[in-house]
Amino acid sequence: MSTFGQFLRVTTYGESHCPSVGCIVDNFPPGVPISEEIIQPQVSRRRPGQSSITTPRNEADIVSIQSGVEGGVTLGTPIAMTVKNKDQRPGDYKGDTMKQYPRPSHADFTYLEKYGVRASSGGGRSSARETIGRVAAGALCEHYLKLAHGIEIIAWVSSVGNIHHIPPTTEYPFRTQNPEFLQLLQEVTRETVDKTTVRCPDPEVSAKMEQLITEFRDRQDSIGGTVTCVIRNVPTGLGEPVFSKLEATLAHAMLSIPATKGFEIGSGFEGTEIPGSTHNDMFIRNPITDSETKNGFLKPKLATSTNNSGGIQGGITNGANIFFRVGFKPPATIGLPQETVTFTGETDGVLEAKGRHDPCVVPRAVPIVESMASICIMDALLLQGGRKMATFTPQV
């Protein structure tokens, strides 16, 4: 299925070697000022070739709006966006080898099992280029969320291999109880994140991460990492129990990104080891006293003194910062020789990738995580907006 979302629906298309990749965003609100200049930065942040630790393929990736916008304003009709592919014939593996041998931990084999045919690039839609459509759609949503509700969505690299930014410590074995981590959630900006090549907001940790990636690159190997994302200023009431609880749609969104292996919200797996008496987030009076309404959403009367829940309780936002972490495996394409066998299972062989490849995907994954988060939040916001319009006077 190439569509994500229930009311705000994003449909993507395209693989590595077709004329273009892109998306259609349906049910985007009308009247929103929008232009390609607003979309392009995130698309460019996703692009390869941004630094010595990312693959140097220079893809221009210029986004073009095809419909749904006139006079710089959205019409409420489907917004189609496209990015042209340069017709790069796949040549990452020697000669015809790749046609006969499935690359280890790539999708060549499973795509053939599923579809009975194979794109020249192997698993065409499993290509990282597929994510361009998501990023364009996500940038659109993020723009709206910021404009209409002041919502901020910021992701960063929280680990590369075993180098962790704010790891568990003796004093704070659980990160959600570490004041440094909570402060980061409150203060991190995209500008800070983008100051370093790795996109980790701490320059020192970032330098170590970059060093580690360089080492893996130089030995023709690869390494994974994690991306953490915070969503601030979210109205309460978003998320649709029981099957579209917000953490469920976020998990769905994140695990649909290539190379992801895990997702955790709030206290996450660490939270399974915290006693309930400590884990429970106590309710307090909302210290932000201005009870203003923003586009129909009221500021809540209560807040919580801690945030192990990660801003979501019972699948619904409680107004606190939403934060989650996504794990990415090491890229499968490496220069080291690897033993494999032909698709037919008849002949053994060895594959080794030529050229240079991303030794670590997390720096480029940052805008993809932000984009999928934006789409999730926007969909939940529109659904709850419809409910609010329809709700009768509250009767507690």
Active site residues: 17, 106, 358
Give dist(CA 88, CA 359) in Å, integer: 20
Q: Where are the alpha helices (DSSP H) in 190-296?
A: 190-194, 203-218, 246-255, 276-279
Q: Does 367 bind a copy of itself (CB under 8 A)?
A: no
The 305-344 site mask, x for binding a copy of itself (CB under 8 A), equals: ---xxx-xxxxxxxx-------xxxxxx-x-x-xxxx-xx
The number of beta carbons lying within 10 Å of the beta carbon of residue 395 is: 4
Taking the complex as a whole, the smallest distance from the CB of residue 191 to a copy of itself amounts, in Å, to: 26
Using CB under 8 A as the binding rule, the residues of this chain from 228 to 267 that contact a copy of itself are: 236-245, 247-256, 258, 260-267
Judged by DSSP in three states, 261 sits in: strand
Instruction: Tell me whether residue 191 or residue 293 sits nearer to a copy of itself (CB atom).
Output: 293
Q: Which of 33, 26, 118 is nearest to 76 (CA)?
A: 26
Question: Closest CB to a copy of itself among 60 and 341?
Answer: 341
The CA-atom distances, in angstroms, between 209 and each of 163, 180, 204, 332, 363 are 6, 19, 9, 19, 10
Give the Cα separation of 335 and 353 in Å (integer).
Answer: 5
- The single residue among 117, 170, 292, 293 that binds a copy of itself, judged by CB under 8 A, is 117
Is residue 363 close enough to count as binding a copy of itself by CB under 8 A?
A: no
Q: Which helix (H) or strand (E) holds 110?
A: helix 108-115
Q: Report, in Å, the least distance between residue 93 CB and a copy of itself.
A: 14
Question: Which part of the chain contacts a copy of itself (CB under 8 A), choosing from 44-52, 88-96, 194-202, 222-230?
Answer: 222-230
For a copy of itself, how many residues bind (rule: CB under 8 A)? Answer: 172
Encoded amino acid at 110, one letter: T
81-96 in b/e form (b: 16+ CB < 10 A) is bbbbbeeeeeebbeee
178: CB partners within 8 A, 6+ apart: 166, 169, 171, 172
- Angle in degrees, CA 249, 251, 254, rounded to 5: 105
Residue indicated by tokens 């723009």: 143
Q: Which of 114, 195, 294, 354 binds a copy of itself (CB under 8 A)?
A: 114
Residue whose CB is less far from a copy of itself, 189 or 355: 355
In angstroms, rounded to a whole number, what is the distance separating the alpha carbons of residues 319 and 310? Answer: 10
> Which of 177, 267 has the CB closer to a copy of itself?
267
396 contributes a contact to a copy of itself by CB under 8 A:
yes
Closest to a copy of itself by CB, 95 vs 243, is 243
| Residue 222 half-sphere exposure toward CB, CA atoms < 13 A | 24
Distance (Å, rounded) from C-alpha 344 to C-alpha 351? 16
Q: How many CA atoms lie within 13 A of 339 on its CB side?
A: 2
Site map (CB under 8 A) of a copy of itself, residues 46-85, x = contact: ------------------xxxxxxxx-xxxxxxxx-x---
Report whether 363 contacts 49 (CB < 8 A).
no
The answer to whether residue 45 forms part of the interface with a copy of itself (CB under 8 A) is no
Q: How far apart are CB 143 and a copy of itself at their closest, in Å?
A: 12
Return the residue of 48, 138, 201, 224 that touches a copy of itself, per CB under 8 A. 224
Query: Which residues in the 126-165 window bind a copy of itself by CB under 8 A?
Result: 126, 130, 144, 148, 159, 161-162
For residue 269, what are the contacts with CB-CB under 8 A and spacing of at least 6?
none
Residue closer to a copy of itself by CB (options 180, 273) is: 273
Sole binder of a copy of itself in the list 11, 42, 55, 206 (CB under 8 A)? 11
* 192 binds a copy of itself per the rule CB under 8 A: no
Site string for a copy of itself, 273-312 (x = CB under 8 A): xxxxx-xxxxxxxx--------xx---xxx-x---xxx-x
Minimum CB distance to a copy of itself smaller for 170 or for 395 = 395
Piece in contact with a copy of itself (CB under 8 A), picked from 87-95, 102-110, 185-193, 363-371: 102-110
